[in-house]
Amino acid sequence: MWQSILKFIQKWFHRFGSPRWFYQTTGKWLPYLAVISVGLLVLGSIWGLGFAPQDARQGNSYRIIFIHVPISVLAMIGYYVMAAAGAVALIWKIKIANMVMVSAAPLGAALTFLALLTGSIWGKPTWGTYWVWDARITSMLILFFLYLGVIALNQAFTSRDTAYKACAILSLVGTVNIPIIYKSVDWWYTLHQPATIKLTGASSIHPDMLKPLIVMILGFYCFYALVLMLNTRTEILAREWRSSWVRGLSQ
Amino acid sequence: MATTPLLELQNLAFERDDWPLFESLSIALCAGDVMQISGPNGCGKTTLLHILTTLHSPSYGSVLWRGEAINGSAIYLAELAFIGHQPGVKLALTARENMRWCLGLFAPRKNITIDTALDSAGLNTCKDVPCSTLSAGQLRRVALAALYLRDATLWLLDEPLTALDSDAIADLESLFETHRRAGGIIVFSSHQALSIDGVRNLALAEFTAKVH
Amino acid sequence: MATTPLLELQNLAFERDDWPLFESLSIALCAGDVMQISGPNGCGKTTLLHILTTLHSPSYGSVLWRGEAINGSAIYLAELAFIGHQPGVKLALTARENMRWCLGLFAPRKNITIDTALDSAGLNTCKDVPCSTLSAGQLRRVALAALYLRDATLWLLDEPLTALDSDAIADLESLFETHRRAGGIIVFSSHQALSIDGVRNLALAEFTAKVH
Amino acid sequence: MHPTNNSHTGILQRDLLVAIRQGSDFLNPLLFFVMTTTLVPLAVSPSPSQLAVIAPGMIWITALLATLLALDGIFKDDLADGSLLQIILSPKSLWSLVLAKVIAHWLKTGLPITLMAPLLGMMLSLPGEGYIPLVTGLAVGTACFSLIGAVGAALTVALQRGGVLLSLVVMPLYFPVLIFGASSVQRAVQGLEYLPVLAMLGAFFTFTLLTGPFAAAAALRVGING
Amino acid sequence: MHPTNNSHTGILQRDLLVAIRQGSDFLNPLLFFVMTTTLVPLAVSPSPSQLAVIAPGMIWITALLATLLALDGIFKDDLADGSLLQIILSPKSLWSLVLAKVIAHWLKTGLPITLMAPLLGMMLSLPGEGYIPLVTGLAVGTACFSLIGAVGAALTVALQRGGVLLSLVVMPLYFPVLIFGASSVQRAVQGLEYLPVLAMLGAFFTFTLLTGPFAAAAALRVGING
Ligand code: HEM
Ligand SMILES: Nc1ncnc2c1ncn2[C@@H]1O[C@H](COP(=O)(O)OP(=O)(O)OP(=O)(O)O)[C@@H](O)[C@H]1O
Ligand SMILES: Nc1ncnc2c1ncn2[C@@H]1O[C@H](COP(=O)(O)OP(=O)(O)OP(=O)(O)O)[C@@H](O)[C@H]1O
Ligand SMILES: [Mg+2]
Ligand SMILES: [Mg+2]
């Protein structure tokens, strides 16, 4: 019984592992996903920007939360998506997992950058400065570097296969280290914590603000999946252009 | 001579980033065989040798050593000696120091010392000068001295004749003879012909993948 | 053929850190001469070629070009093409881009384009891939393609046959023929014999300093 | 003296011998360490009270950079002359050979830096309480730098301009070491308990020691293919 | 388009093309610059008031190190593949070919660093008055670094582990640039006159520009013989 389940999983993995299958299947999903994510994002934006109540302390400037928070969350999750894909690729030697991994890296880096940017923009009205060395912010910056490392490594190799393996190893090493890095930065911050700045927890948020925020988070999740698929499809075409099925596409 | 093959290449194919280089390559080598890989520039000789060292993996097919697939296990590596394009010699050290380091990594032959190995390779006058002051051919001789020193059955040599003068080539030919008599196998790539008998030839260009 | 020598080596000697390598070397080469420097490993062939390029200076004696001592002046360099052990090819660039750079440094021949030079060197299929993906022999061909492209009288080549297959060697031989007919001079070192006629031989070992 | 027993000391010996021959190998990271630290008073401020505040951090940053700079050659030199292939093709276990190379790297960089650090502390007016955590912390911390760095060096070994790429890859992983190391000195100077911090550094070192050589060996097999 | 006219742009073009191909060439010194600056708050202190004091000096030190790190390859890569010999044997004047390589180096390192500096200034809480002298100073100063560095890189080109030796050779020559550069920013922040300091930097640059390429060309001829 267990064996048949294992076999099923394996078979599914290998079918899913075929770039051609991935390309054709995601091709069918794309329109739906696009409609859903755009719908959620538009709904969340209108709701959040137009109808959610003003914040007592921050006035209207808090509304950037509807972009900042979903992006920050996704930026972190993105690393684990990348690392998991890398692990799958290393262990089961599945081609498509490599392609997902290297497609997730620039996407994650872009999201991290946006999180830093929106955070900075928000910081000016809230803290009076664009940048402070807070634990969460510093961790985010280090995460940005980790992403850049993977991207730079990926670009530096001429052989695609080697690049894939190298990036997989690096992202795994990074994953092992992320908790350590985060803990050490947290600990460092509590040592030095300047009294002037206070980041309150998300618990203080008003339920009327929470609902549009959840819609935005869902919207961004779908959007992330959409862009990741598009990126991976581009990578597939770049990698498989010699194969007959890709050539068939252009005819 | 033994008739059971030691090294078998079974239906070997290699593609780099999905670009096929050679395919359907099947060969069996027995103890005492010397094989020269020949073929035009870029046909994949170096690549094939790298596959045999396990540095690259073949895309299809397999390589068997004593009937078992090779996979970087210590058992196979212990019987293998590879000398590639780069001599693998530390320029800051002397020839003697380099050989001592070689012995740290690999098992030595019986009844041979570093001194005699270097002498046999024709380096008697420059054992104790830093290798950075050696000429191109002398440096290759230091690399080849490892063959006198090491106890390996399978020799994989990528263009071993590069930069060697005629004396050194004659020395190498007699070394090949000795090794094959002792039951060893030699696979080497070269564009020059050796003057020893019974060298099998692998014209790699015949296996070039058709898509190419 | 002209009888006034273009390149003259007069009583040349070289010692490295007071250790003599060769001495009393006198040779005169006229337009159309091809000279092979031969000799055992470490006898000083590379060193001699470096002296002719002005990279090293001789310890005694002098080298004259068209009757004047060479000294790194632009006039001599403009007539010189040197290809050493390293191919001088940027691995990150394609063969075509490397040739374009070569044209930035040296004067080109008339009536030849980069494309035809690369074709003549047998690289028609790999002009536009990064040179890091080329095999040892293909890389040497890129280096040698400069000879088709450049307008130089004196060619100094250090082991030009390294890593070349038989086709490439035949190409090179016919290139040598063309160059000597046009009044050029070729000095090259090699342990292999070329199959063209009238190659002068310089057995460098005869000039090895006696102290050695 | 069967060679199976001495292959690791063999690599260690060779690497140190090469370093001694090249002379500059021991001296250079050390001099870089000293010189970069000298830049601080010139560029920031020569006032002792201000220097004392930034001294722990600056010494640690400089030690990090000095180790990083010498890291590039750890495998690259061996690749260039072909001896890396021989190491990989040795029947001995690769991780132990890699560990030997890491130890050689530490003996060439981390150790001299650690021994030199008190002098630089003095030059930057570091208060007396800081010296013990500075030296113990650097000894362990630079070993972490060498171990983590080996993974990055192995991944970038065949790349043309690996040097700066290497910094990019390993620097984020160096952050915890830097934080623990610098703050243990700071705490000691402020009269706070610093042993727990050093203990954390020690724990991180143990973890790195147990995983690093394996990761580096795997990375090396991938990295050599360029 | 006779080639005599385009040999310098030829080298410049090729070096930049190689940089673009290798992708990381532009990005890496920049990232090193950013990352090392990030180490400062972690190792020293995150307090904005303390950071503001050390910001000018730290940014300058980091810019110096970033340029230095990328310097090692300026001739060494060309030596390794043999193209340096071709450059030296070209009938074109060597100093102008060297100058082209220096310009390419600056475009790859100094320029991106200069453009990035304001962002780092912000992150280290540099007060608003400091930005103009920071950017102008860095533009000129990194050019000096490239020019002076080329001489050192030329001298050490054939040495095995030139990288750290190179730092040793050029660092003393970098001191004046660092002192003028950092203090011009500090003076601006303190509300003092900073133009005379920048003028001195400019004078130093002019001098370096006029002598550097010749010195580097001479050093190169010496350096290639090992
Ligand atoms: C680890 C990544 C991050 C996450 C998960 C995150 C998440 C959040 C959340 C949930 C809030 C709203 C909670 C609250 O009201 O306090 C928030 C607020 C904020 N974040 Fe972030 N953020 C991240 C990174 C950043 C970065 C990198 C910056 C700046 C560059 C930043 C700047 C801000 C600011 C200014 C606020 C408002 C602070 C306040 O209300 O006092 N955040 N962030
Ligand atoms: N940098 C150096 N320092 C000291 N001695 C050197 C140096 N380079 C070469 N030599 C010595 O000079 C001699 C001549 O070297 P050279 O490279 O010219 O020989 P070669 O004739 O080209 O030999 P090969 O056929 O092996 O290429 C050799 O004995 C060598 O040991
Ligand atoms: N790193 C690489 N990436 C992509 N392609 C490569 C790489 N290395 C070699 N190749 C290609 O693979 C083919 C085979 O190369 P290989 O080095 O095995 O040839 P070879 O038979 O040894 O040639 P030579 O006689 O010139 O040494 C060549 O066409 C080459 O262009
Ligand atoms: Mg080859
Ligand atoms: Mg030679």
Strand partners, B38: B203
Structure-token pair, residue E152: 């050192």
pLDDT, position E104: 87
How distant, in Å, are the alpha carbons of C104, C116, E45 from that of E3?
6, 18, 56
- Predicted confidence (pLDDT) per residue in B118-141, tens digit: 998 888 888 888 888 888 899 999
Q: Can you tell me which atom of ligand 3 is nearest the CA of B191?
A: 25
**Cα distance between residue D70 and residue D76, in whole Å:** 11
**Cα distance between residue B10 and residue C16, in whole Å:** 53
- Chain B positions touching D11 (Cβ under 8 A) are 101, 104-105
Structure-token pair, residue D196: 């727990």
pLDDT, position A21: 79
Which residues have a Cβ under 8 Å from the Cβ of D52 and sit 6 or more positions away? D124, D125, D126, D127, D189
C181 by Cβ neighbours in 10 Å (0-12 / 13-18 / 19+) ranks as exposed
Q: Min CA distance, B84 vs chain A (Å)?
A: 20
Structure-token pair, residue B201: 């030839």
- Chain C positions touching A158 (Cβ under 8 A) are 130, 132-133
pLDDT, position B209: 67
> Does pLDDT of E6 surpass 70?
no
Looking at every residue in chain B, the average pLDDT score rounds to 88
Q: What is the largest CA-CA distance in chain A?
A: 65
- Predicted confidence (pLDDT) per residue in A229-242, tens digit: 888 888 888 877 76
SS3 state of residue D175 = helix
The answer to whether the CB atoms of A194 and E27 lie below 8 A apart is no
The DSSP symbol for B109 reads P
The secondary structure of chain A as a DSSP string is -HHHHHHHHHHHHHHHT-HHHHHHHHHHHHHHHHHHHHHHHHHHHHIIIIISPPBTTTBGGGGGHHHHHHHHHHHHHHHHHHHHHHHHHHHH--HHHHHHHHHHHHHHHHHHHHHHHHHHHHHHHHHSSS----HHHHHHHHHHHHHHHHHHHHHH-SSHHHHHHHHHHHHHHHHHHHHHHHHHHHHHHHHH--TT-----GGG--HHHHHHHHHHHHHHHHHHHHHHHHHHHHHHHHHHTTSHHHHHHT-
Q: Can you tell me which atom of ligand 3 is nearest the CA of C139?
A: 26
**Cα distance between residue B95 and residue B93, in whole Å:** 7
Higher pLDDT, E173 or D161: E173
- Predicted confidence (pLDDT) per residue in C51-76, tens digit: 999 888 888 899 998 888 887 778 88
Cβ proximity of A95 and A19 under 8 Å = yes
pLDDT band at E80; cut points 50, 70, 90: confident
Which of B14, B43, B52 for a ligand 3 pocket mutation test, highest count of atoms within 8 Å of Cβ? B43
Q: Hey, which of A35-39, C29-33, D37-41, D148-152 has the most confident mean pLDDT?
A: D148-152
| C208 Cβ below 6 A of ligand 2 | no
Which residues have a Cβ under 8 Å from the Cβ of A190 and sit 6 or more positions away? A135
What does the buried/exposed string (b/e) look like for C93-118 if buried means 16 or more CB atoms within 10 Å of the residue's CB?
bbbbbbbbbbbbbbbbeeeeebeebb
pLDDT, position E30: 82
- Predicted confidence (pLDDT) per residue in C94-152, tens digit: 899 889 888 888 888 888 888 999 999 988 888 888 888 888 899 999 999 999 999 89
Could you tell me which chain C residue has the CA closest to the CA of B135?
C42
Closest ligand (CA of C134): 3
pLDDT, position B103: 85
Amino acid (one-letter) located at B56: H
- Region of poorest pLDDT, from A63-67, A201-205, A216-220: A201-205
Question: Is residue B85 less than 8 Å (CB to CB) from chain A?
Answer: no
Q: Min CA distance, D88 vs chain E (Å)?
A: 22
> Does pLDDT of E14 surpass 90?
no
> Does pLDDT of A61 surpass 80?
no
Of E90, E92, B163, B138, nearest to C53 by C-alpha is E90
Q: Can you tell me which atom of ligand 2 is nearest the CA of B134?
A: 31
Of B93, B90, B187, B108, nearest to B146 by C-alpha is B108
Dist. CA E211 → ligand 4 center (Å): 45
pLDDT band at A14; cut points 50, 70, 90: low
pLDDT band at C157; cut points 50, 70, 90: very high
Chain A neighbours among B 11-30 (CB < 8 Å)? Answer: 16-19
- Region of poorest pLDDT, from C12-26, D127-141, E195-209: C12-26
pLDDT, position E29: 79
pLDDT band at E3; cut points 50, 70, 90: very low
**Cα distance between residue C132 and residue C121, in whole Å:** 18
A vs B: CB pairs below 8 A = 10
- Region of poorest pLDDT, from A234-248, C164-178, D43-57, D105-119: A234-248
SS3 state of residue E173 = helix
**Cα distance between residue E179 and residue E75, in whole Å:** 28
A201 by Cβ neighbours in 10 Å (0-12 / 13-18 / 19+) ranks as exposed
Q: Min CA distance, B209 vs chain D (Å)?
A: 22
Strand C19-29 with C7-16, pairing: antiparallel
The secondary structure of chain C as a DSSP string is ---S-SEEEEEEEEEETTEEEEEEEEEEE-TT-EEEEE-STTSSHHHHHHHHTTSS--SEEEEEETTEE--S-HHHHHTEEEE-SS----TTSBHHHHHHHHHHHSPBPTT--HHHHHHHTT-TT-SSSBGGGS-HHHHHHHHHHHHHHB--SEEEEESTTTT--HHHHHHHHHHHHHHHHTT-EEEEE-SSPPSSTTEEEEEGGGGB-TT-
Cβ proximity of B162 and B83 under 8 Å = no
pLDDT, position E5: 43
- Predicted confidence (pLDDT) per residue in C183-199, tens digit: 899 999 999 888 888 88
Q: Can you tell me which atom of ligand 3 is nearest the CA of A159?
A: 3
Run of H or E including E17: helix E3-22
Q: Which residues keep their CB under 5 angstroms from ion ligand 4?
A: B 46; C 136
Which residues have a Cβ under 8 Å from the Cβ of B12 and sit 6 or more positions away? B22, B23, B24, B25, B26, B48, B51, B58, B60, B61, B62, B63
Of D8, D57, D7, nearest to D184 by C-alpha is D57
Sheet containing strand B60-65, edge to edge, reads B19-29, B7-16, B60-65, B68-69
Structure-token pair, residue A175: 């994953």
Higher pLDDT, B34 or D16: B34
Of C76, C82, C44, nearest to C63 by C-alpha is C76
Interface predicted TM-score (ipTM) of this complex, two decimals: 0.85
As a whole number, mean pLDDT of residues D144-148 equals: 95
Provide the whole-model pTM: 0.87
Q: Min CA distance, A235 vs chain C (Å)?
A: 20
> Does pLDDT of D196 surpass 50?
yes
Amino acid (one-letter) located at E75: F
Dist. CA E47 → ligand 1 center (Å): 19
The answer to whether the CB atoms of E23 and A188 lie below 8 A apart is no
| B43 Cβ below 6 A of ligand 3 | yes
User: Residue A75: how many CA atoms within 13 Å on its side-chain side?
Assistant: 29
pLDDT, position A181: 85
> Does pLDDT of D108 surpass 50?
yes
- Chain B positions touching E160 (Cβ under 8 A) are 91-92
Of D105, D85, D147, nearest to D14 by C-alpha is D105
First to last CA, chain D: 37
Structure-token pair, residue C200: 């002068």
Give the Cβ contact number of residue A141 at 10 Å.
21
- Predicted confidence (pLDDT) per residue in E37-76, tens digit: 888 888 888 888 888 888 899 999 999 988 887 887 788 8
**Cα distance between residue C129 and residue C89, in whole Å:** 13
**Cα distance between residue A36 and residue A38, in whole Å:** 6
Strand partners, C82: C156
Closest ligand (CA of B134): 2
Q: What is the largest CA-CA distance in chain E?
A: 60
As a whole number, mean pLDDT of residues A95-121 equals: 91
Sign of CA dihedral A215, A217, A218, A223: positive
**Cα distance between residue B47 and residue B61, in whole Å:** 15
Query: What percentage of chain B reaches a pLDDT higher than 90?
Result: 36
- Predicted confidence (pLDDT) per residue in B49-94, tens digit: 999 998 888 888 999 998 888 877 788 998 999 998 888 888 888 8
> Does pLDDT of E88 surpass 60?
yes
